């Protein structure tokens, strides 16, 4: 057709052009444009401007979080070099390493995500793909924080001794690159392993054990250090020495040694230490390459079998759909609510991370009870005995908000079923709330028993005040959380280590509610103390507030069907992605 | 006898865009109804409205003589649906999911367990007791979604692309099951892009394009109507459903599908 032939790219002479790969620069600009468009388009949905506002509000907070450690790193760099103890630079470098990677695990993004692995279907060169995977994400908060801390440290070293600046800059730059590669390598492999459900559960279990172990270890070390006059045992000393020795063979220690040797004039040794960091960087790069190369060549991480095995099919349609009349049995709960409750319980038992966070409040109380018991070495902790239960409840509320404000997040495509089934949406949400409520009650009982048996039972007035405060906060959060779960849901992917989308507005609201309720609790607590009265005044106030929040909860529960219908499209669109 | 599914002036707008406009549909009880249309014609929007996934902007829906808007719960109790995304809960096993669905539809536990066992066996999924649904292949998920849609013995079954991703043997089994349901008096409302399947299974067909229902009736009625309008000289010609579809859509779109080979000449 004449009209088509006039198009510049449509003529037969242009056909070979399509076979050429785009230049690297065009790929970068195209992907940058794509990310920008995804971001811009994300502002078109309902509540998008609220998300943007929260994001902008969070930037100063983020800047403060980066600024604080950076100033600390700068001061540490200056002080250590100024005193001539350059090897001690390993300490702040380990801290930066821990912050960099710990924050990486803990943070979730509120920005619209884009899976870079989907680029492999385009005619992209591997080198470009690798670079894209490496460079996109350099501006995420942990990386920016890590790089800023290292830059500040470099500045501190330079102020202490200007002649060290070129070498320190070089060493710290290499250390930064090493960390960037380590982080990328770690998460790409973790995602590889976590693609399998069994592995996911195993890793979660390991993280749980590791985390609990670290806390026990820290507790133990603290008690050792508090034991005035007592000398640490031989094996503790041996372990300590071994760890320090191992440190000099690892990137933070090697980087510190490189700067120390250069400061001392031993150029050869400085170069050797830096070469060590370079080797680590190279190894991380290589391991990352193996992973990304596998992705690039087309890797299927799905656990689905390649094909269903052919089996003998027994055709029994008559029995299969015979419409026997159902006879509802006696139940404590309506059948639908009970079914949803069981489903929620099954989901919870298969979600390692959720179980992990749910265990934490009880675990914390175990630790604190141990500290405040007669075994403790510090009198300070003993002052907390009476309020341990209250502390645990406050911590528990903080933990629970994540479950309450995105309670439909893990349902995915299943959310459609709630609209298709003859169930009221409020019953679905009631079942979800009941499960969380049951867990809350069980945890409260456990925390009370732990605190009472290991340390000291809280007095009755404080116990009543704490329970009523917990009920008040829980019901208020649940009421708001139910509405926000429907109006601003975010899909949760159990196979992703990080980059889980969360609603910024939801996070902001939940934080606000918890802060206000904790503030109110603390205020009444101190008022009672100031008046030298017992806590019955606080208990009375919180019982009334719990009643009010129960009324709010019931009122919002009644409205959930309407809200769900109104937001059905948002809900299904958001949760049925991918 | 009232229609199994009946819509009156069914309309759905998304902002300025009208996805479905003034659709008047009547599906009689016991019919195997195929709902066809090109991509973006309004099929999914219509089926979402018919099953309660989407509220209409205007118009009404009657299912088994009940108004959907005022009797949503009772209507949902009587219908089974395999929606576009299958509505599965990935972190349950197949039997757990069927137990959940059965109880949500008010079946007692014993009946649910018995039916789910039979359905899983029938769907060739009985051996996958420990595997989570998220680990199923697409075809297996489709079969499970169909099992869940029929576990409460619905009077009307809505199927959105039920054969997509299902292997030939399983597709044969499913077709047999659906025909068995029709023989027992159930009504099936099906959308599919595979016109051969629709032609083989469905007794009645509706065609939607640009949000409007442009053809509706039995296959014979449609065939006769299309021949009369496009080729009156040969009234005996036996058109396939694909030919009917292309002629009906082509007529409304000004024959834009008539000469695809003339376009995209640069493809070589």
- Domain map (residue ranges) of chain A: 22-203+245-296, 335-575
Task: For residues A205 and A495, give the distance between their C-alpha atoms in angstroms, rounded to a whole number.
Answer: 15
Angle between helices B109-122 and B94-104 (to 10 degrees): 130
In a mutational test of the B interface, the residue from A10, A300, A326, A351 whose CB has the highest number of chain B CBs within 10 Å is A326
Eight-state DSSP code of residue A20 = S
Task: For residues A148 and A153, give the distance between their C-alpha atoms in angstroms, rounded to a whole number.
Answer: 8
Which of B89, B127, B263 comes nearest A414 by C-beta?
B89
Which of A350, A414, A568 comes nearest B88 by C-beta?
A414
Chain segment A73-106, per-residue pLDDT in tens: 999 999 999 998 888 899 999 999 988 876 665 5
CB proximity under 8 Å: A 14-33 to B: 14-15
Alpha carbon separation from A451 to A211, A371, A526 (Å, rounded) = 21, 11, 22
Chain segment A265-298, per-residue pLDDT in tens: 889 999 999 999 999 999 999 999 998 888 777 6
Host H or E run for residue B5: strand B5-14
User: Where do the domains of chain B lie?
Assistant: 5-257
β-pair partners for B14: B17
- Contact: A320, B118; criterion CB under 8 Å: yes
pLDDT at site A302: 47
pLDDT at site A323: 42
B-chain CB neighbours of A4 within 8 Å are 263-266
CB proximity under 8 Å: A 396-435 to B: 410-417, 419-424
- 3-state SS, A396-440, equals HHHHHHHHHCCCCHHHHHHHHHHHHCCCCHHHHHHHHHHHHHHHH
Q: Give the minimum alpha-carbon distance from A507 to chain B in angstroms, rounded to a whole number.
A: 25
Nearest to B258 by CA among B171, B249, B223: B249
Chain segment A243-262, per-residue pLDDT in tens: 888 889 999 999 999 999 99
Average pLDDT over all residues of chain A: 78
In a mutational test of the B interface, the residue from A10, A200, A302, A308 whose CB has the highest number of chain B CBs within 10 Å is A308
Chain segment A37-87, per-residue pLDDT in tens: 767 766 766 667 777 777 777 778 778 878 888 999 999 999 999 998 888
Contact A116, A100 (CB under 8 A): no
Task: For residues B89 and A414, give the distance between their C-alpha atoms in angstroms, rounded to a whole number.
Answer: 5
Which of B53, B121, B136 comes nearest A314 by C-beta?
B121
DSSP B19-75: EEEEEEEEE-TT-EEEEE--TTSSHHHHHHHHHTSS--SEEEEEETTEETTTSHHHH
- CB-based contact, A335 to chain B, within 8 Å: yes
Angle between helices B219-230 and B241-252 (to 10 degrees): 50
User: Cβ atoms within 10 A of the Cβ of A303, count?
Assistant: 16
Q: What is the ipTM of this complex?
A: 0.73
- Residue A328 — φ and ψ, nearest 5°? -60, 135
Distance of CA A438 to the CA centre of its chain: 24
- Contact: A4, B263; criterion CB under 8 Å: yes
* Pairing between β-strand B5-14 and β-strand B17-27 as defined by DSSP bridges: antiparallel
What percentage of chain B has pLDDT greater than the value 90? 39
Query: What is the mean predicted confidence (pLDDT) over A490-505?
Result: 62
Which of B100, B108, B122 comes nearest A343 by C-beta?
B100
CA nearest to A340 within chain B? B100
- What is the number of alpha carbons within 13 Å of residue B102 lying toward its C-beta? 29
pLDDT at site A352: 66
Greatest mean pLDDT among A41-55, A389-403, A494-508, B5-19 lies in: B5-19
- Contact: A416, B53; criterion CB under 8 Å: yes
Chain segment B113-122, per-residue pLDDT in tens: 999 999 999 8
Residue A314, Ramachandran bin (φ over 0: left; ψ between -120 and 50: alpha; else beta): beta
Is the pLDDT confidence value at A331 over 50?
yes
DSSP A294-353: HHHTT-----S-SSPPP------HHHHT--PPP-PPP-SS-HHHHHHHHHHHHHHHT-HH
Chain segment A8-43, per-residue pLDDT in tens: 343 444 444 444 555 677 777 777 777 777 677 667
Long-range Cβ pairs for the range A44-53 (8 Å, 24+)? A45/A570, A46/A487, A46/A567, A46/A570, A47/A487, A47/A488, A47/A503, A47/A505, A50/A504, A50/A505, A51/A110, A51/A503, A51/A504, A51/A505
Chain segment A159-211, per-residue pLDDT in tens: 999 998 999 999 999 999 999 999 888 888 877 776 666 666 677 667 667 76
Least confident of A277-281, A300-304, A546-550, B93-97: A300-304
Spatial neighbors of A338 by CB under 8 A, at least 6 apart, are: A331, A332, A431, B103
- CB-based contact, A2 to chain B, within 8 Å: no
- CB-based contact, A5 to chain B, within 8 Å: yes
Task: For residues A163 and A515, give the distance between their C-alpha atoms in angstroms, rounded to a whole number.
Answer: 49
Higher-scoring residue by pLDDT: A251, A117? A251
pLDDT < 70: residue spans in chain B: 1, 231-232, 234-237, 252-263, 268
Contact B189, B33 (CB under 8 A): yes
Which of B54, B106, B150 comes nearest A335 by C-beta?
B106
Q: What is the CA radius of gyration of chain B?
A: 20
Fold classification of B5-257 (topology level): Rossmann fold (3.40.50)
Task: For residues A99 and A148, give the distance between their C-alpha atoms in angstroms, rounded to a whole number.
Answer: 12
């Amino acid at each position: 057709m004449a009209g088509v032939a006039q198009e510049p790219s449509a003529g037969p002479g242009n056909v070979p052009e399509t076979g050429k790969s785009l230049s690297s620069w065009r790929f970068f600009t195209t992907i940058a444009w794509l990310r920008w468009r995804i971001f811009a388009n994300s502002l078109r949905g309902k509540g998008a401007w609220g998300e943007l506002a929260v994001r902008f509000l969070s930037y100063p907070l983020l800047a403060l979080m980066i600024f604080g450690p950076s100033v600390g790193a700068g001061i540490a760099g200056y002080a250590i070099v100024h005193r001539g103890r350059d090897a001690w630079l390993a300490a702040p470098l380990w801290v930066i390493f821990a912050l960099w990677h710990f924050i990486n695990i803990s943070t979730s993004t509120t920005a619209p995500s884009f899976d870079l692995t989907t680029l492999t279907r385009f005619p992209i060169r591997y080198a470009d793909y690798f670079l894209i995977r490496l460079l996109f994400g350099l501006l995420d908060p942990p990386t920016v924080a890590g790089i800023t801390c290292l830059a500040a440290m470099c500045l501190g070293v330079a102020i202490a001794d200007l002649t060290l600046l070129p070498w320190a800059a070089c060493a710290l730059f290499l250390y930064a690159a090493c960390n960037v590669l380590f982080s990328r390598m770690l998460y790409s492999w973790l995602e590889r392993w976590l693609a399998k459900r069994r592995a996911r559960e195993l890793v979660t279990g390991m993280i749980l054990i590791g985390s609990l172990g670290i806390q026990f270890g820290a507790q133990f070390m603290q008690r050792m250090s508090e034991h005035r006059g007592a000398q640490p045992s031989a094996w503790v000393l041996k372990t300590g020495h071994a760890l320090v020795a191992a440190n000099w063979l690892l990137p933070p220690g090697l980087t510190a040694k490189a700067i120390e040797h250069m400061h001392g004039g031993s150029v050869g040794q400085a170069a050797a230490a830096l070469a060590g960091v370079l080797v680590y960087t190279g190894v991380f790069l290589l391991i990352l390459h193996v992973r990304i190369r596998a992705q690039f060549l087309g890797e299927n991480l799905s656990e689905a079998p390649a094909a269903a095995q052919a089996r003998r099919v027994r055709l029994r349609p008559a029995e299969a759909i015979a419409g026997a009349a159902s006879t509802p049995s006696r139940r404590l709960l309506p059948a639908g609510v009970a079914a949803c409750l069981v489903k929620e319980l099954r989901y919870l038992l298969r979600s390692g991370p959720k179980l992990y966070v749910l265990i934490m409040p009880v675990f914390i109380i175990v630790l604190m009870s141990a500290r405040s018991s007669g075994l403790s070495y510090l009198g300070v902790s003993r002052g907390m005995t009476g309020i341990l239960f209250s502390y645990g409840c406050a911590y528990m509320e903080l933990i629970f908000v994540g479950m309450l404000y995105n309670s439909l997040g893990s349902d995915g495509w299943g959310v459609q079923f709630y609209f298709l089934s003859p169930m009221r949406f409020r019953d679905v949400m009631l079942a979800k709330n009941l499960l969380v409520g049951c867990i809350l009650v069980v945890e409260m009982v456990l925390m009370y028993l732990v605190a009472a048996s290991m340390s000291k039972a809280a007095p009755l007035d404080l116990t009543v005040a704490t329970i009523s405060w917990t009920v008040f906060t829980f019901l208020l959060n649940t009421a708001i959380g139910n509405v926000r779960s429907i109006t601003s849901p975010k899909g949760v992917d159990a196979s992703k280590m990080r980059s889980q989308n969360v609603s910024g507005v939801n996070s902001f609201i939940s934080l606000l509610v918890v802060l206000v309720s904790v503030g109110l609790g603390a205020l009444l607590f101190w008022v009672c103390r100031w008046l030298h009265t017992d806590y019955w005044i606080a208990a009375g106030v919180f019982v009334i507030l719990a009643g009010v929040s129960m009324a709010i909860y019931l009122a919002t529960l009644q409205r959930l069907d309407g809200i769900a219908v109104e937001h059905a499209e948002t809900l299904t669109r958001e949760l049925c992605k991918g | 006898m009232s229609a199994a599914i009946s819509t009156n002036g069914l309309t759905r707008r998304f902002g300025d865009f009208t996805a479905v406009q003034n659709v008047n549909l009547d599906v009689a009880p016991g019919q195997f109804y195929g709902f066809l249309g090109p991509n973006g014609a309004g099929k999914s929007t219509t089926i979402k409205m018919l099953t309660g996934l989407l509220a209409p902007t205007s118009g009404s829906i009657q299912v088994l003589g009940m108004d959907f808007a005022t009797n949503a719960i009772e209507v949902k109790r009587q219908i089974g649906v395999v929606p576009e995304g299958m509505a599965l809960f990935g972190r349950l096993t197949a039997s757990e999911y069927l137990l959940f669905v059965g109880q949500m539809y008010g079946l007692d536990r014993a009946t649910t367990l018995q039916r789910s066992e039979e359905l899983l066996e029938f769907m060739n999924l009985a051996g996958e007791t420990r595997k989570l649904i998220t680990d199923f292949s697409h075809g297996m998920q489709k079969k499970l979604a169909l099992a869940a849609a029929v576990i409460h013995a619905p009077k009307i079954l809505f199927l959105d692309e039920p054969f997509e991703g299902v292997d030939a043997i399983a597709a044969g089994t499913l077709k047999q099951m659906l025909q068995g349901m029709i023989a027992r008096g159930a009504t099936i409302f099906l959308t599919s892009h595979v016109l051969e399947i629709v032609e083989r299974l469905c007794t009645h067909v509706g065609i939607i394009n640009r949000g409007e229902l442009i053809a509706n009736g039995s296959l014979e009625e449609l065939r006769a109507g299309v021949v009369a309008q496009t080729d009156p000289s040969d009234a005996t010609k036996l058109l396939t459903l694909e030919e009917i579809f292309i002629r009906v859509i082509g007529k409304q779109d000004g024959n834009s599908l008539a000469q695809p080979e003339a376009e995209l000449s640069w493809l070589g």
